[in-house]
Amino acid sequence: MIGFMSDAGMVRPYDAPQLLFERIAPAKVPGGWRVVEDFEAPKRLNFTFEGNAFVRRGVPSIHGKLPAIGPIGGGRFLSSAGGARGLRGTGEATSPLISLPAKGGSMHLLAGVTGKGKNCVLAIMDESGTRLELPVPRLQWGLAPVKWEIEPTWAGRHVYLVISDADPEAAIFVDEVYLQSAD
């Protein structure tokens, strides 16, 4: 089971978070979509890491002394508050090269930024270092779907997904990175 916060109140207005529980189940991947990374494997991720924000593997919804984070897909996700420093940690996680569909399509993922700072960034980066920043929902300890329509200039290219936290008062979360081909 995992838990995440709800503002629900029953008998009287409730001003503290309550826990909702859901059974952990594998995320449902739509037919024809390719899973790039779901962060479920308990072993070290095949990412490049810098700094102290990320532990080297996916973390569960409840970790450290932080509030429960969710909803996520399955039981683990990538958190820049996953290290011992929590929100104060900073660093960067870079995926292995990802082959984008030759005919275009879209990338789907769950992402969220929590906290006061503005220096948490999710970006696509090509092999020459050119970055395209993706908008990330600002949610308190939450994630929401993000969709990137792959423009023709990016179709068929090899790119990195870069998850960057340069902010000691914020954190970025990512999970369930999928690719949908246009063909």
Cα 60 from Cα 38, distance rounded (Å): 12
Please select the residue that binds Ca ion; options are 2, 4, 37, 38, rule is CB under 5 A. Answer: 38
Lookup: tokens for 90: 């900073």
What sign results for the dihedral spanned by CA atoms 79, 169, 70, 68? positive
> Looking at beta carbons, which residue is closest to Ca ion?
74
Segment 61-68 long-range contacts (CB within 8 Å, at least 24 positions apart)? 61/2, 61/3, 61/4, 62/2, 62/3, 66/141, 67/5, 67/17, 67/141, 68/2, 68/3, 68/4, 68/5, 68/19, 68/141
Q: How far is the CB of 26 from Ca ion (least distance, A)?
A: 9
Stretch that binds Ca ion, among 47-55, 75-83, 112-120, 159-167 (CB under 5 A): 75-83
Among residues 2, 37, 59, 74, which is the contact residue for Ca ion, using CB under 5 A? 74
CB of 91 to Ca ion, least distance (A): 20
Q: Which of 128, 87, 92, 122 is nearest to 108 (CA)?
A: 122
Residue 137 or 168 having the CB closest to Ca ion:
137
Pick between residue 61 and residue 154 the one whose CB is nearest to Ca ion.
61
Among positions 45, 70, 73, 100, the unique one binding Ca ion when judged by CB under 5 A: 73
CB of 164 to Ca ion, least distance (A): 20
| Structural contact between residues 133 and 122, judged by C-beta atoms closer than 8 angstroms | yes
For Ca ion, what does the binding mask look like between residues 124 and 163, x meaning CB under 5 A? ----------------------------------------
Q: Which stretch binds Ca ion (CB under 5 A): 89-97, 109-117, 132-140, 168-176?
A: 168-176
What is the spatial distance between Cα 159 and Cα 156, in angstroms, rounded to a whole number?
Answer: 9
**Chain contacts with Ca ion (rule: CB under 5 A):** 38-39, 73-74, 77, 175
